[in-house]
Structure 1
Amino acid sequence: MHQNMKPYVVGIDIGGTNTVFGIVDARGNVVASSSIKTGRHADIKDYVEELKTSLNNLLEANDATDKIAGIGVGAPNGNYFTGAIEMAPNLPWKGRIPLAELLKEAFGVPVALTNDANAAAIGEMTYGVARGMKDFIMITLGTGVGSGIVVNGQLVYGHDGFAGELGHVIVKPSNGRMCGCGRTGCLEAYCSATGVARTAREFLETRTDKSLLRNLPIEGITSKDVYDAAVQGDKLAKEIFEYTGKIMGEAFANFIAFSSPEAIILFGGLSRSGELLMKPIKEAMDRNTLNIYKGKTKLLLSELKESDAAVLGASALGWEAR
């Protein structure tokens, strides 16, 4: 770190429900963090105003007001090149939101912005299991399936800033499920937490096997319910994980053919399902991987605490912000 460099950066993770922000030091310690509700303000200016107040309070309480080198932001559909959030389906603000510019005005420090999965990849590379790796793919398994692709030590952004939407590769070309993106058959429609719940409903409606899941109202079933049932040995619930893992592993075999990564790293709620998901993924991945790549790509779980990862990843951008 340069002698005159300020000791902290701020990381901001904008989710559909909450916006979490934290003060981070050069070692990757989250010194303090707080959050506000993302959807409370339909107008972006009011949102920035509330964020400004909350963050300034946090900085003041931690004696960090003049010690911030930059701000990094991870947001759905965040474009690194333009600093804007562009047409994000799960956020209250429509169209193109020049967020980096608005935050730069509000705080008077450099701001960099990228999408949430890219931020997680940067966090993993800076502070986590991907330290020292030049080629890896980060897969985030939450409400959707996101990805950050690192090649030769750099994130792949593509010519427009939006490269690396592996959640939207089509895994079921005919008669696939409707995806939130408006197309059918996307990986996200099957392998996100939402996808697991959809598979559960589909299995329960089309089959007659006994299952603990039948005791729950079908419309309200979550991926957590499926996990809980599987842990209790429920056959149908285990099969849902096998079905999900198989689709994921097949897709990963394709991703390996694309960039021959040293590792594919899984992050997010669903990745904590342990062997229930990892075993079928690994089996399908190994079975479908081209011979020249067999056994070369590790399947790993993120080492970052979920609560900190997105903030850490976004904050790593803060050091580079101009």
Structure 2
Amino acid sequence: MNAEHCAITMDLGGTTIKLGLVQAGRLLASSQLAAHSAQGLAGRLPYIRKAVDDLLAEQTISRQQLTGVGVAIPGIVDSVQKKVLSIDKKYADAPELDLPAWAREAWGLPIILENDARAALVGEWQYGAARGLDDVVLMTLGTGVGTSAIIEGRLLRGRHYQAGCLGGHFTINVQGAACNCGNIGCVEAESSSWSLGEKVRTHAEYHRSQLRTEPQIDFAALFRCAEAGDGLARQLRDQCLDVWAAGAINLIHAYDPEVLLLGGGIMGSGAYIVPYLQAKIDAFAWTPWGRVEVRPASSFASAALLGAAYLVTHPN
């Protein structure tokens, strides 16, 4: 196989670790393994290495045909020193690890580290729904709320690598719930998978709700029960939508994009979410120049892998 300029890529999710081999913006092969992220990253590295080596063997790609390793991780990442600076609960030992040394020892390759939402936005920017745009923000809805921004054709990182990626911790309710980041009333604390179950179960109407019969309270269950006419589900669904809309408007006011991309695990209900957020943004975002378009992310399952590979050869 002609695999010049092929990159090893990794998307270290909280539940699943996705691995891929990427060449010229195309995912040649992929695999995944359980993250066990609460137990740290160090113990997973041997399994990641073996899974990557298995992919290389299956594709008959030699190490001489590889250009680097791109890693997307859900934390604040120093992309220059290639070090995880801070991470919330998942892979708590990551800031202590020398991942460049690990990549050199495993494959003799340089490594690129980037925040996972930034890597996903780069993938969409180069190969997906944001292709051809110079000003775009991404909002991922799932276990947490991830964000990132590209401004004037450049990936936004900031002096301390926090710019753009903390939109899930915008304060939208000063009297709201405590967030796992230590703040009060963050977007995540008010509407994310990790905070949803408690909100549902502690609600006064829970015992009369169809949600009480659901084996797992997640956004799929919430939207399904709301569609079936359940009163509590509809109330909480609309609260979540309003929280996401407020977060999206804050992103628009902060970063002045042409397009807001929506991605993440919740986008199975994207046909309902996208027009709802578009209507709220049209009504309330201060954009005298015109209208910010809301688009679903097109290739989100592999966007972070593709973006990490792009950053291997195009550090931005």
Structure 2 length normalisation: TM-score? 0.89
In structure 1, distance between residues paired with 2:37 and 2:260 = 36
In structure 2, distance between residues paired with 1:101 and 1:76 = 20
Given the alignment of the two structures, is residue 80 of structure 1 paired with residue 79 of structure 2, yes or no?
yes
Residue equivalent to 1:301: 296
In structure 1, distance between residues paired with 2:42 and 2:271 = 45
* Aligned residues of 1:20 and 1:36 also touching (Cα < 8 A): yes
Residue equivalent to 1:212: 210
Alignment equivalent of 1:59, drawn from 25, 46, 56: 56
* Aligned residues of 2:191 and 2:244 also touching (Cα < 8 A): yes
* Aligned residues of 2:117 and 2:140 also touching (Cα < 8 A): yes
In structure 2, distance between residues paired with 1:44 and 1:170 = 30
Residue equivalent to 2:233: 237
Given the alignment of the two structures, is residue 311 of structure 1 paired with residue 268 of structure 2, yes or no?
no
In structure 1, distance between residues paired with 2:61 and 2:315 = 18
Residue equivalent to 1:170: 171
Deviates more, 1:17-26 or 1:273-282: 273-282
1:148 to 1:317, Cα distance in 2 relative to 1, 3 A: same
Given the alignment of the two structures, is residue 31 of structure 1 paired with residue 28 of structure 2, yes or no?
yes
* Aligned residues of 2:270 and 2:296 also touching (Cα < 8 A): no
In structure 2, distance between residues paired with 1:305 and 1:137 = 14
Deviates more, 1:163-172 or 1:269-278: 269-278
Report the Cα offset of residue 245 of structure 1: 1.3
* Aligned residues of 1:249 and 1:284 also touching (Cα < 8 A): yes
Percent identity of equivalent pairs: 28
Structure 2 unaligned residues grouped into runs of 5+: none
Deviations along 1:276-306, one digit per CA (max 9) or x if unpaired, are 323432232222212515x421011000042
Residue equivalent to 1:142: 142
* Aligned residues of 1:194 and 1:223 also touching (Cα < 8 A): no
Report the Cα offset of residue 242 of structure 1: 1.5
* Aligned residues of 2:206 and 2:212 also touching (Cα < 8 A): no
Aligned-pair Cα RMSD in Å: 2.6
Structure 1 unaligned residues grouped into runs of 5+: none
| Matched residue SS, 1:206 | coil
* Aligned residues of 2:69 and 2:112 also touching (Cα < 8 A): yes
The 5 A counterparts of 1:161-310 are 161-164=161-164, 165-173=166-174, 175-202=175-202, 205-207=203-205, 210-216=208-214, 220-290=216-286, 292-293=288-289, 295-306=290-301, 308-310=302-304
Report the Cα offset of residue 251 of structure 1: 2.6
Report the Cα offset of residue 215 of structure 1: 2.8
Deviations along 1:204-254, one digit per CA (max 9) or x if unpaired, are x2237953213347xx42222112212323343233222111122123222
* Aligned residues of 1:48 and 1:103 also touching (Cα < 8 A): no
* Aligned residues of 1:117 and 1:140 also touching (Cα < 8 A): yes
Residue equivalent to 1:14: 12
Residue equivalent to 2:122: 122
Deviates more, 1:144-153 or 1:106-115: 106-115
In structure 2, distance between residues paired with 1:84 and 1:291 = 37
| Matched residue SS, 1:147 | strand
* Aligned residues of 1:136 and 1:150 also touching (Cα < 8 A): yes
Report the Cα offset of residue 46 of structure 1: 4.5
